[in-house]
């Protein structure tokens, strides 16, 4: 029986993939083997000794202390693409709503309630909300992954000229892009041409404040900026200065902060990008499947800190070893297995930067001391016998 702790509301359709015969869902568990999380900040949370894996039902993992998890042999998963359509649709909505001043206009129209001159006031007042059409305008997309590529393609369908910047684009994302999307090699190539700019990159130390005073200075006057990725990607002080000077005409952001709220020209949604029933279900189902396969079989799919390693089970027992990617690790492992007269039926070893994972299916009796012996080799971080 595995204990799974949830730190956020996780779709019941996903939780149902963890059957009660094998998994206990306990939100108060002190010693869970697995954690299911959405946006809860885990940086200050102690990581219990018992914890083997964390599955983020979503894309961004900046709320999880990845390095600490890696050092403790805790596998961190996310659910690539599972909420991308939800975010992309909201971004398209925000492109239109921001350009046509819909939020202010709706609020203003609400204020007419009770007047007997509504029809006349509407015709007189509407000119203050005039805003440009998207068709024929240029959109710059920073980050062409699951979300950025969908936004870029949708904007092409709306008749926009679309420029894309992503030095690390995956082959899948590149294949999914409309041929009309123009490739920019640097931000400097893209920014001066954009009427609208949207960012869809992960928040990492290297992407913090991608939109800052220098990059904003390169933009066209009156650019409209959208950020449905992470608040920290934009330097809010620089953005507000640019709004003040007219460099930025409008900022639509999914991450409200004290300094952004109440500012004319800034509209914030409350981190709503992935909040659709479809996306919540997709993410929860994928996260539950990843957690279940790792806990039960040691298979790793969509991990952000360990290599992806999966193989069908053969032989009697499975040995799973997370270890440092160091010379001698494999021979130390196989040496111990040989001495214990265990036959290796199948074996996979993969590495990701400084960390490696070895899965071995073996036939033969596994003694109580074998796991301890394997854990004792210098590169070993976490050993499980399944
Ligand atoms: N508002 C919300 O509710 C949601 C927000 N997000 C945010 O959106 C981000 C992107 O999500 P996905 O598209 O699903 O992720 P993804 O991993 O599919 O795409 C990210 C893309 O950014 C690119 N990239 C990385 N560093 C870059 C850089 N310095 N410059 C340009 N491109 C760079 C990568 O090559 C990749 O193509 C997530 O990391 C998350 O922070 C994701 C889902 C929901
Ligand atoms: O779970 C959520 O609502 C937030 C999703 C998100 O921000 C992400 O997937 O990166």
Q: Which of 271, 313, 317, 384 is the catalytic position?
A: 271
Instruction: Report the alpha-carbon distance of residue 242 to residue 238 in Å, rounded.
Output: 6
Q: Of all protein residues, whose CA lies closest to atom 36 belonging to ligand 1?
A: 145
Alpha carbon distance 38, 195 (integer Å): 33
Give the C-alpha separation, 38 to 6, whole Å: 9
> What range defines the domain where residue 5 resides?
1-83+275-297
Q: What band does 281 get if pLDDT is binned at 50, 70 and 90?
A: very high
Q: Tokens 């003694």 correspond to what residue?
A: 367
What is the pLDDT averaged over residues 121-149? Answer: 98
**How far apart, in whole angstroms, are the C-alpha atoms of residue 385 and residue 317?**
7
pLDDT band at 14 (very low <50, low <70, confident <90, very high): very high
The per-residue pLDDT for range 290-319, each reduced to its tens digit, is 999 999 999 999 999 999 999 999 878 999
Tokens 């805003």 correspond to 131
**191 within domain boundaries:** yes
291 and 319 in a single domain? The answer is: no
Do 231 and 117 sit in the same domain of this protein? yes
DSSP annotation of 2 reads E
Residue closest to 199 by CA, chosen among 214, 209, 184, 188: 209
What pLDDT score does 47 carry?
97
| 29 alpha carbon – ligand 1 mean position (Å) | 32
User: What DSSP state is assigned to residue 346?
Assistant: E
303 lies in some domain: no
Task: Give the position of tokens 């914890």.
Answer: 51
In this structure, what CATH number is given to the domain that contains residue 222? 3.40.50.720
Same domain, 36 and 89: no
Greatest distance between any 2 Cα atoms in the chain = 92
Measured CA to CA, the distance from residue 3 to residue 10 in angstroms comes to 15
Please check whether residues 221 and 356 belong to one and the same domain: no
Mean pLDDT of 194-211: 98
Going through 70-219 in order, the beta strands assigned E by DSSP cover: 75-77, 138-142, 161-165, 182-183, 196-199
* Residue 302 belongs to some domain of the structure: no
Predicted local confidence at residue 296, as pLDDT? 97
Domain assignment present for residue 282? The answer is: yes
Whose C-alpha lies nearest to ligand 1, atom 25?
Answer: 201
In a domain, 306, yes or no: no
176 and 107 in one domain? Answer: yes
ipTM for the predicted complex comes to 0.99
- Name the strand (E) or helix (H) holding 330: helix 329-339
How does residue 360 score in pLDDT terms, banded at 50, 70 and 90? very high
Q: Are residues 48 and 195 in the same domain?
A: no
State how far the Cα of 364 lies from the Cα of 116, in Å rounded to an integer.
87
Mutate to test the pocket of ligand 2, among 8, 59, 82 (most ligand atoms within 8 A of CB): 59
Q: Can 230 be counted among the known catalytic residues?
A: yes
59 and 118 assigned to the same domain: no
Q: Is residue 214 part of a domain?
A: yes
Atom of ligand 1 nearest to the CA of 148: 13
- Report how far residue 70's alpha carbon sits from residue 316's, in angstroms, rounded to the nearest whole number: 28
Predicted confidence at residue 315, as pLDDT, reads 75
Q: How far apart are CA 10 and CA 15, in angstroms?
A: 7
* 203 C-beta closer than 6 A to ligand 1: yes
pTM: 0.96
pLDDT of the residue at 65: 98
**Residues 234, 290: one domain?**
no
139 located within any domain: yes
Between CA 263 and CA 249 the distance in angstroms is 12
CA neighbor of 75 nearest in space, from 386, 382, 385: 382
In this prediction, what percent of the chain has a pLDDT beyond 90? 98
d(CA 148, CA 229): 10
Q: Is the CB of 148 under 6 A from ligand 1?
A: yes
Overall number of domains in the chain: 3
Identify whether residues 235 and 375 lie together within a single domain: no
364 band by pLDDT with thresholds 50, 70 and 90:
confident
Q: What is the mean pLDDT of residues 247-262?
A: 98
At 11, list the tokens: 């779709």
Q: Which bound ligand lies closest to the C-alpha atom of 204? A: 1
Mean pLDDT, range 244-252, rounded to an integer: 98
Work out the pLDDT band at 367, boundaries 50, 70, 90. Answer: confident
Structure tokens given for 302: 């969509």
Whether 106 and 255 share a structural domain: yes
Q: Does the Cβ of 280 fall within 6 Å of ligand 1? A: no
Q: Is the pLDDT of residue 322 over 90?
A: yes
Mean pLDDT across the chain: 97
SS3 380: strand
Q: How far is the CA of 36 from the centre of ligand 1 (A)?
A: 20
Same domain, 74 and 103: no
- Cα separations in angstroms, 260 against 44, 95, 275, 279: 26, 18, 22, 27
Q: Active site includes 259?
A: yes
Phi, psi (deg, nearest 5) at residue 291: -65, -45
- Determine whether the shortest distance from the Cβ of 14 to ligand 2 is under 6 A: no
- Ligand 1 centroid to residue 337 C-alpha, Å: 42
Residue 212 lies in a domain: yes
| Catalytic one of 68, 115, 133, 259 | 259
CATH number (domain holding residue 333): 3.30.70.260
CB environment 175-210: b (16+ within 10 A), e (fewer): ebbeeebbebeebeebbeebbbbbbbbbbeeebebb
For the question of residue 193 being annotated catalytic, the response is no
Q: pLDDT tens-digit profile of 44-102?
A: 999 999 999 999 999 999 999 999 999 999 999 999 999 999 999 999 999 999 999 99
Domain shared by 88 and 223, yes or no = yes
pLDDT at residue 329, rounded to an integer: 96
């Amino acid at each position: 029986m595995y204990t799974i702790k949830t730190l956020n509301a996780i779709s019941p359709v996903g939780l149902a993939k963890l059957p009660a015969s094998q998994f206990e869902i306990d939100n108060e568990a002190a010693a869970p083997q697995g954690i299911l999380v959405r946006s809860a900040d885990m940086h200050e949370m102690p990581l219990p000794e018992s914890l083997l894996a964390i599955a983020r039902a979503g894309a961004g993992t900046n709320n999880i202390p990845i390095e600490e998890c890696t050092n403790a042999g805790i596998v961190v998963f996310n659910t690539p693409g599972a909420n991308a359509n939800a975010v992309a649709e909201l971004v398209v909505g925000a492109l239109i709503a921001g350009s046509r001043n819909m939020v202010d206009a709706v609020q203003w129209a609400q204020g007419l309630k009770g007047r007997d001159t509504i029809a006349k006031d509407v015709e007189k007042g509407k000119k203050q909300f005039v805003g440009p059409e998207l068709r024929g305008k240029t959109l710059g997309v920073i980050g062409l992954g699951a979300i950025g590529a969908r936004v870029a393609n949708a904007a092409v369908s709306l008749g926009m000229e679309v420029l894309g910047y992503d030095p690390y684009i995956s082959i899948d994302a590149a294949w999914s892009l409309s041929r009309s999307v123009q490739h920019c090699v640097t931000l400097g190539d893209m920014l001066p041409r954009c009427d609208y700019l949207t960012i869809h990159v992960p928040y990492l130390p290297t992407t913090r404040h991608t939109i800052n005073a220098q990059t904003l200075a390169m933009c066209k006057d009156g650019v409209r900026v959208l950020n449905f990725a992470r608040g920290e990607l934009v330097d809010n002080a620089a953005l507000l200065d640019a709004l003040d000077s007219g460099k930025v005409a409008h900022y639509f952001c999914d991450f409200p902060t004290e300094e952004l709220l109440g500012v004319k020209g800034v509209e914030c949604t409350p981190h709503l990008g992935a909040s659709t029933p479809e996306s919540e279900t997709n993410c929860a189902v994928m996260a539950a499947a990843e957690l279940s396969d790792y806990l039960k079989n040691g298979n790793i799919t969509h991990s952000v800190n360990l290599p992806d390693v999966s193989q069908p089970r053969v032989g009697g027992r499975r040995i799973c070893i997370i270890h440092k990617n160091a010379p001698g690790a494999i021979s130390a492992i196989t040496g111990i297995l040989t001495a214990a007269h265990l036959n290796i039926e199948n074996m996979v070893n993969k590495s990701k930067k400084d960390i490696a994972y070895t899965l071995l299916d073996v036939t033969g009796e596994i003694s109580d001391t074998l796991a301890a012996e394997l854990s004792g080799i210098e590169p070993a971080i976490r050993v499980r016998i399944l």
